[in-house]
Amino acid sequence: MKRLLLLGLSALFLALGQMMMPDPWTPADLMEPAQLVARLKGPPAARPLIYYVGFGVLYRSKHIPGALYIGPGAKQEGLQALREAALKQPKAKEIILYCGCCPWDHCPNIRPAVVMLHELGYKRVKILSLPTSFAKDWLEKGYPFETGS
């Protein structure tokens, strides 16, 4: 029982600490969904690189066309996959990250992913603005999606 209580308190403090941290991006680093939809309609060579840094079950359900599944940014495996994928790209490449698992202020995945790309030297990192969730801020607006992996 004590161990369960300690685990619960640890998770609470971790979540509170994350919520109190400033976002590792500026307003200029955000991309609105409508902007991305317009870019997806362009020629394939002009389309941005999109990494999904959330949970696999959500990606397999529905995701942005052309988005690559990386894995949760809150887990070491996800960050390692992000590192490996990013290092195959030139530092000048525009990379768009998104999760959308939950309201932004609670998302455990997007912030560690942004920090890692910045630490690796990527300067053109954009964060898809999904303040509520992927379902609410993308799917309910009728934007395109794919299913499967």
Higher model confidence: residue 30 or residue 24?
A: 30
- pLDDT band at residue 46 under the 50/70/90 scheme: confident
Ordered DSSP codes for 39-106: HHTS-GGGSPEEEE-S-HHHHHH-B-TTPEE---TTSHHHHHHHHHHHTTS-TTS-EEEE--SS-GGG
pLDDT at 3: 55
Residues 102 and 35: their CA atoms lie apart, in Å, by 21
Average pLDDT over residues 53-65: 97
pTM equals 0.83
What pLDDT score does 79 carry? Answer: 97
**pLDDT, tens digit, 9 for 90 and up, residues 85-136:** 999 999 999 999 999 999 988 899 999 999 999 999 999 999 999 999 999 9
For the chain, the average pLDDT equals 88
The CATH number that domain 23-141 falls under is: 3.40.250.10
Residue 63 has pLDDT above 70, yes or no: yes
Per-residue confidence (pLDDT) for residue 56, from 0 to 100: 96
pLDDT at residue 123 in the model: 92
Return the minimum-mean-pLDDT range out of 3-17, 29-43, 114-128. Answer: 3-17
